[in-house]
Amino acid sequence: MKVNCDYCGNYMETTDVSCPHCGAANTHVAGHYSAGPVTIDELKKYCSDQRLPLDKMHVHIGENYTSPMAFGIYKDEVTGHFVVYKNKTDGQRAVRYEGKDEAYAVNELYQKIRSMVANARGRNK
């Protein structure tokens, strides 16, 4: 069955974990997480253990970074929601996820980080 991506509006299968067009998580398969980190602290540790250059990757974990060209995740202290965002080059922000499910939010950014690493490895071959 096909559903619209909440982020870009294109169609994808309900079995897709992320949109094949924009990479946003498929919110229609909630509860399907990878075996990766499930908390912001675990994601920080994973990135540290992997020695990922988060600054060079423009990834910000645990902070509401507002400058252009960045991905990140933080917990909004006012609402208690976890927010996964992408700051575009023109300064606009696209919220990829906002809600109370920390594991889902962390998986959103974890999948993006894995994709970025895979792309970088492909370019370096």
Report pLDDT digits (tens) over 20-62.
Answer: 888 887 777 655 455 789 999 999 999 999 999 999 999 999 9
Residue 124, pLDDT score:
66
Q: Is the dihedral of CA 23, 85, 92, 112 positive or negative?
A: negative
Q: Other C-beta atoms within 10 Å of 107: how many? A: 23
Specify the long-range contacts of residues 51-57, CB closer than 8 Å, at least 24 apart: 52/113, 52/117, 57/113, 57/116
Cα(21)–Cα(40) distance, rounded to whole angstroms? 26
